[in-house]
Structure 1
Amino acid sequence: MSSKTETPPVPPELLARPRLAADVSVHEPAEEGAPWLIQQGQARYFRVQPDLARLALALNGTRDHALLAEILGAPWTVDAVAGAVEKLAAGRLLDNGEAVRRSARRFKFVPPMTLQFTLVRPERMLRRISPLVRALTGRAATVAAVVLTLTGLLVLAAQSARVGAVLGQPLGLGTYLAVFAGVLATTAVHEFGHGAVLTHHGGRPGRMGVMLFYLSPAFFCDVTDGWRLPRKGQRVAVALAGIATQVVIAGGAAVASLFFSGAARDGLLVFAFVTYIAGLLNLMPFVKLDGYIALMSHLDVPHLRDRALTDARRAVAGVLFGGRHSRELPELGRWAVPFGLASMVFPLYMIATAVGLWGDTLQRVGVVGAWLMLCGVGFLGYHLVRGFARVVREARAGGAGAARIGAVAVLLTGALTAGLALVDVPYTVSAGYAVRDGGKVELLLPPSADRLVIEKGAEVRLYRVGVAAKSETGRGVIADDRATATTAPLSAFLPVRADMLPTPADGYLLRLTKSPESDLGGAVVDGGRMPAGQWIFTKYVLPAFRW
């Protein structure tokens, strides 16, 4: 979608006799009490008051402001019409004299980090299966789905010891591939569920395809048309349909694990656990996922998160810089600001958690993993800086003085600098280990690892690393700080059982103080302590530039 700066302004002569753009339409309420909607293209909907909808319907390019005010009557005046026309033009809803591009591009970039590729227009296909959807949304099917979901949770709880063990140990490559394929297929069914329920309620799903969502492969289905549904309960059902399919599939996998053993059982347990967690994360209302859409639909407040974020930024600006600030969501009372603050913090928490969980594993891969970590940390820093800049803009808009803004900014910068310089944190280097023929144990460092902390006598902890957990199983010290050029199997750097894809590595002889449980695994070298700023630079920036 083009930004406002890319759209030519409406010429004065067209503003004088305005007309809706060719890709803009006005939708009457579907039933009594439902809102009027203005639709632009396939994916933008605006709720409007009836008076503005009547004005939009009257914009045919032949009537000037005075005639429009005369035709529409109270409350419209010439000045009111002019103001409304300016707002419609600012929203790119008026004809600007240029032909509307009806793009058929399959690729679409959605800021900040999503790239979509359209595969199909699913409306016709979904209408054909509407009888099946009607049966699956009936009372009996709903009860069965709830029972299966709860039963699956009970199965995982009963096997909690086994689930913990599976998540904390390497899995076979075939099991990983099967779990990945299952998760990908589930996301496809998830999106299909959104489109099917929207079709069931009379809506029209848009595009369906694949996407890279924060560098992770997934599917998508455009259900923006759900805003045209007359009842908020219908819109909530569309939003939650994907999560419902996820947890039902997870429950089925958990129950199925009771009838298998070995790698098949482990794969089903991992798949069920991951799918339940994905459904839970999708339910979180603090990011623009299904849970947020459901909450926004239930409250019947368009752009809930964006407006709550504005209220939260204004509250922070008021505390730090002073000034007078209006509320975007006064109708929500006290909880709008806490919700906005949570919506600020939660995405940063998710990124930081992902960095903490996968950081060591990715850095063991080498330069590619190091660059992925640098991108993640850079993205986190970018959002922090952008968030502060937005708070400052809100402070300026609220009348806060430049002197106070400058003083507080200097104090915060000083406090951050002092923290980065004075607070010491433990520094470690991620690596792998292997027990070679004859019982010799080698510490294996990928090319991106920091060699400066590798010295004779440095302590090394040996780990068994799994999908979501790791446990220490051995200890040792570096017996010789002279490196030997060697290769390391994939299992030394990633939580997978596969003696394949050997990668270049430097080997250092270890002297064990506690023997590990397996011949391959992850390792962490103790690098002492260093200031937090130096730690960030050494841990996440330098590895990307070591070749």
Structure 2
Amino acid sequence: MAEDVTVHPPGDPDAPWMIQRGADRYYRVGSDVARLAQALDGRRDVDALVERLGGPWRRTSVLTVLRTLHEQKLLDDGQDRAPGRDRRVKFVPPLTVQFTLLRPERLLARLRPLTARLAARPGAVAALAVTLGGVFALAAQAPAVGDALGKPLSVGVYVTVVCAFFASTALHEFGHGAVLTYYGGRPARIGVMLFYLAPAFFCDVTDGWRLPRARQRVHVALAGVAVQGVIAGATGMLAAALPAGDARSGALLFSCVAYVSCLLNLLPLVKLDGYLALMSHLDIPYLRDRAMSDARGFLSRMLFGGRHPRALDTPWSVPFGLACMAFPVYMLTTGLTIWSDLFLAMGVFGTFALAGVLAYLAYLWGKGLLHLIREARKTGAGTARVCLATGALAIALTGMLAGVKAPYTVTGAYVRQGDHVDLVLASTADQGIVREGAQVVLEQAGLVTSTQTGRGAVASAEGERGGAPMTLFAPVRMEDAPHLAVVTYPLSVAEAPSAPTGTAQVDGGDVPLGKLLYLKITAPWRR
């Protein structure tokens, strides 16, 4: 075996043997494979191994297992390989970079008595009471919550909420490590990471696979959500005692964001806490990967034919795998829909960023299709059917882009001076949508929600160029904000909105999806 490989016997009669490589790679094996691994001391050839192990081992079966162990880099291949225990920076495909900040084993071992008290029944009941109490507190403050989510807040409030949220996610990760330590495991490292280019914290609790009971692994997976739920609940109840103002709005916003983070973490469709808990409860390693393999096999069989062996013998693996495949694309598409106008307001740079996201979406779809075709060819699908099905998919995609229509709107802002209201668009926005009589929806928008405050129509398509603060287009209150180049158009309104500024949605009618993408991306060059 390689120098950085350890064979762990089961800690419980019902627990499996584990082979560990480095600090964070674990492989569940049967007792026969574990016996073979323990016998690999470098002094026996294959025949000697067969003689030592006895039945059911044969020369061919030993060679097969040795080949698998070599593919997983578990054998000493004569090359000097760094064990990998002390690497501070680690890349995790496809798009995650982890930066280790500390090794928490000693710290969490000292905190184990405190963890034991909190994990006992009274502590668990108190944590649940605080978590649920915060939900009721937010419900009782519904109007204030609406203002916090639906009205602009100061930069200071947003900065405080972001810092508090990152602190809560750090405690979230310590919760995972603390519960793992409580059960006798060793958290390898805690740090920060870029998770699909978004900053986040992480705690490596891979050693949890050595825990003998699935229930313990479930507790480790859900510990972070429990910690963050308590923080969200306590903040929600604290907000009820604060006077109206920025402090209360910030507390309410943070509580809502923390609760939403808990719910997202519980979704089992991505590799977050909910998925790890489900995988541990079902005791099926690599559940998501195997379910997506079954889903790809199902799609490949439906489109191209061929025979695809199942990775999971369960009736729900295909729908679960399809959902796991679709959810990241759905999240990316939803985010693109929400933030596309903000990208465009950033000018040429934002337009290139938007085009890059669209290109990445196309790459994901193309990569998935190529994967399906390769699997179909490997399992006996005919060339003619593969070509026909691929052509049919291309025709269907073209028909969707040309035939399916979606509403086209351009987001800007409005400014009220007395009874006079102006529409303000960034100079990079699509000015071609502005025509006399075009309908405009006026809104008061916050970070999360918006409220319609009126309607109007463009009184004249002749715009006046000038400048306006960037905060006019974002739900932020800020003095001396940087200015953007804008174009201003007069509006005719039946009744002026009560708020002096807000967002405005210019209605461009329904257009085909292909044209919608073209209009969005080429807007800065069609002024």
TM-score by structure 2 length?
0.94
Q: Kindly indicate whether the alpha-carbon contact (under 8 Å) linking 1:492 and 1:521 is maintained by their aligned counterparts in 2.
A: yes
Indicate whether 1:131 and 2:109 are aligned: no
Counterpart of 1:512 in structure 2 is 492
Q: Structure 1 residues 509 and 301 mapped into 2: Cα distance closer, same or farther (>3 Å)? A: same
Q: What amino acid maps onto 2:266 in structure 1?
A: L
| Aligned pairs (5 A) from 1:250-399 | 250-262=232-244, 263-330=246-313, 333-399=314-380
Q: Is the 8 A contact 1:205 1:224 kept in 2?
A: yes
Report the Cα offset of residue 281 of structure 1: 0.8
Stretch moving more, 279-288 or 494-503 = 494-503
Q: In the alignment, which residue of structure 2 is the partner of 1:473?
A: 453
Using the TM superposition, give the Cα deviation of residue 485 of structure 1 relative to its aligned residue in structure 2, in angstroms: 3.8
Confirm or deny that 1:492 pairs with 2:472: yes
Q: CA deviation at 1:247?
A: 0.8
Aligned counterpart, 2:99: 117
Query: Which of 385, 395, 401 in structure 1 is aligned with 2:382?
Result: 401
Residues 1:495 and 1:201: Cα distance change in structure 2 (over 3 Å): same
SS at match of 2:192: strand
2:134 paired with 1:152: yes
C-alpha separation in 2, matches of 1:132 and 1:120: 20
Answer whether contact 1:478 1:508 (CA < 8 A) is retained.
no
Unpaired segments of 5 or more residues in structure 2? none
Q: Is this contact kept in 2: 1:491–1:520, CA < 8 A?
A: no
8 Å contact from structure 1 (residues 460, 525) kept in 2: yes
Shift of 1:365: 4.3
SS at match of 1:516: coil
Deviations 1:242-280, CA, capped at 9 Å, x for gaps = 000111111111111110122222211111111111101
Displacement of 1:543 after TM fit? 5.3
Question: Is 1:480–1:508's contact at 8 Å kept on the other side of the alignment?
Answer: no
Distance 1:214 1:517, change over 3 A: farther
Assess, with a 3 A threshold, how the Cα gap between structure 1 residues 315 and 502 changes in structure 2: closer, same or farther.
Answer: same
- Is this contact kept in 2: 1:431–1:523, CA < 8 A? yes
Match of 1:171 in 2: 153
Is 2:229–2:262's contact at 8 Å kept on the other side of the alignment? yes
In structure 2, distance between residues paired with 1:543 and 1:374: 12
- Structure 1 residue 116, shift from structure 2 partner: 1.8
Please report how far the alpha carbon of residue 432 of structure 1 lies from its aligned counterpart in structure 2 after TM superposition: 2.2
Matched position secondary structure for 1:334: coil
Equivalent residues of 1:114, 1:214 under 8 A apart: yes
Identity of aligned residues (%): 48
How much does 1:105 deviate? 3.8
Gaps of 5+ in 1: 1-19
Letter in 2 for 1:290: D
What is the rounded CA distance, in whole Å, between the counterparts of 1:456 and 1:505 in structure 2? 22
In structure 2, C-alpha distance between the alignment counterparts of 1:366 and 1:144, rounded to whole Å: 51
Contact 2:427 2:487 in 1 (8 A): no
After TM superposition, list the pairs within 5 Å mapping 1:56-205 onto structure 2.
56-103=37-84, 104-205=86-187
2:394 maps to 413
Count residues with an aligned counterpart. 524
Q: Distance in 2 between matches of 1:521 and 1:149?
A: 35
SS in 1 for 2:194: strand
Question: SS state of the match for residue 27, structure 2?
Answer: strand
- CA apart distance, 1:490: 3.1
Contact 1:487 1:502 in 2 (8 A): no
> Is the 1:444–1:505 contact (alpha carbons within 8 Å) kept by the matching residues of 2?
no
Equivalent residue, structure 1, for 2:428: 448
Give the whole-Å Cα distance in 1 for the aligned partners of 2:176 and 2:461.
Answer: 58
d(CA) in 1 for partners of 2:475 and 2:349?
A: 17
The Cα shift of 1:371 comes to 4.4
Amino acid at match of 1:243: V
For 1:533, the aligned partner's letter is G
Q: Is this contact kept in 1: 2:100–2:191, CA < 8 A?
A: yes
Aligned twin of 1:542: 522
Deviation at 1:192, TM superposition (A): 0.7
Q: Return the offset for 1:397.
A: 2.6
CA, structure 1 residues 535+384, in 2 after alignment: closer, same or farther (shift >3 Å)? same
Matched residues in 1 for 2:485 and 2:53: separation?
77
Q: RMSD between aligned alpha carbons? A: 2.1
Whether the 8 Å CA contact 2:345–2:426 is kept in 1: the answer is yes
Measured against aligned partners, the alpha-carbon deviations of 1:124-168 in whole angstroms (never above 9, x if no partner) come to 111111111111111111000111111111122233343233312
Counterpart position of 2:34: 53
Q: Distance in 2 between matches of 1:401 and 1:68?
A: 44
Which of 21, 28, 52 pairs up with 2:9?
Answer: 28
Please give the alpha-carbon distance, in whole angstroms, between the structure 1 residues aligned to 2:133 and 2:475. 29
**CA apart distance, 1:368:** 4.8
**Length-normalised TM-score, structure 1:** 0.91
